[in-house]
Structure 1
Amino acid sequence: MCIALLSTAHPRYALIALDNRDEYILRPTSRPHWWTHKPSGTRILSPRDLHRRERGTWMGITSAGRLAILTNYRESSQDDPDHAICGVRSRGALPTAWLTAPAEEKLDHFVRRMVDDPATKAAGGFSLICGDLKEKQGDGIQPLAIITNRCDELAAVPRIAGDRKTTYGLSNTIYVEPPVWPKIKKGKQLLEVAIQYAVENDLDEEALIEQLLTVLEDDTMPLRPDMSMQDHMDVLRHSIFVPAFSDAEGWKDMANAVEEGRSKEPFDAVEDESDSETQLPADPRVNFMKGAYGTQRQTIILVDWEGNVTYKERALWDAHGNRLDKGKGDLVIKYKIGESSE
């Protein structure tokens, strides 16, 4: 059950974005890398989901400064029988839709197009935070939009991050302010405290990132020995960080993956841009529910006022189900918006 936290509270940064990706640990996913969307020529920095044919993502930013962050809804058919849980359309393709939209298409037009498009309803429940970080408004950035396929009214699409000194949170439910879920409430509070501490102590960027990582590491998951897999799923809204959990069958899958991975390619290999169709499910609607579930990746994006971007991902597990020591799965990529990503 992922969480996205965003803030405009640090004076040196136009935007700070944090994300925990909570997923089945064994779901095949590339590391963040620059790749080219061939139809548009857009250069995108993101990890990619290797399980679905669309090779989508949950968090990406372009060389020109467009940002997209996706969270899925935690729902069941009993929660909302009129909407799909796992749709024909991959939710991971939705961030790419904004990141690769024509350069002349403004955010308002994209939002309208998505809200009106019946294909948007073909995906499972989602929220998509999107915007253009190179666009400025007053002393801040142009507001970001939060699009969801649980909202049919254009006027009801929330706009965030247009005001300075403000912090926002979103998880696997509809965006509301003030938030209801415990993990969102605490995430906002911890992020505000971390930024205030960084400002008061004039921390450099590296030290700031370490402070931000402590926010993503906050573990208040209420666990009991007698809890079932469903019991675990039901309490995910309480904790920012989700320690790996599973049933006996899932841990067996993890052990098998570790053993099979001993003879496979190294962890940090990046998917080839040829988009080979290995590891694709037989049915594109198949959900991935294998092995343990928990926080798989942690990401921090910093964008300063000169357009300098720092993108840091911390992988907590390798591609074969091996737990990584803290920092061993770190990857940092820096660039400046508007300049070549080569």
Structure 2
Amino acid sequence: MTTHSSFNKDLLVALAGLAILVAIPFFSPGRVALDFVIRLAAFGLFATSLNILVGYGGMVSFGHAMFFGGGAYAFGLLMQKGGASIPVAILGAVLFCAVLGFVIGSICVRLKEIYFSFLTLAFQMLIHSIIITWTSLTGGDQGLMGGIPRVWGSLNLADVQTLYWFSCVLGVVCLFLMRYILQSPFGYTLRMVRDNADRAQFLGINVWRVRLYAFILASCFASVGGVIMALFVSGAYPEFSYWTMSGEAVFMIMMGGLHTFIGPVVGAGLLMIFNDIITRTTEYHGLALGIIVLFFALGLKRGMTDFVVQIYQSLSRKGARP
């Protein structure tokens, strides 16, 4: 369970990480590094929120992008057509995805393994179809046109440096909250349900409720990733909620590692780097990326952080021997 010392340790790590990120523009003023970190904040939250289900809950979702895209569209529409301020629009996007997660999760978490996975995919395709066909509201396959207002008082998120700092703060805060939740009694209960649902139910735990709460939490944090991406591109597009986006989140977890908390963020960074390099060097994007994924799946047989942790533990055991 979460102790006072572990909370302080996680808080110090979060503050140190935030301090490093805030300092980056002073050493690398170009847009390349800033744009990369902004996208990393969005995709890192997206992948880490999915890992609440996959790594901690044992529920592999193939449709998590519906909350990433749903958060982007809800935020954009509240800003464009609702005239809401940035904080109100962010809160509205999170609440929208919380309700969406409750409705969809209430149905999906009753099923197990592959049935759960494909039902989430079915709902995701339904949401994507609604976005495509409801042209008067969403703009159809063209996405939200006209841009999103990104000024709130003295906060001008149209400025890339301001957006960078805003994304860093929002990303670190959300990661810290996820870490805190997963280290709480609820997080350990979720692990128990993952490892042995029958035993957890025998002990009096409502398995359906625990899984549903995890589904809603994952939905909310994924929506924040969508908000950051919507601010970055000043709009929202159907690709945000397409099944390939869900697949990329699974790849991020596979590459980074699902047994360490920071693994999905590392995987998001790796996938972004690989995508940027591959698109510049070859036209066979899918083939090259497939080979890289196979290397992680068949070569390392685990994510990067899981591999590093295993090596470290192995060396520590050898050093402890007399």
Q: Same-fold call, TM > 0.5?
A: no
TM-score (structure 2 length as normaliser) = 0.29
Q: Which has a greater percent of helix? A: 2
Higher RCO structure (Cα 8 Å, ≥6 apart): 2
TM-score (structure 1 length as normaliser) = 0.28
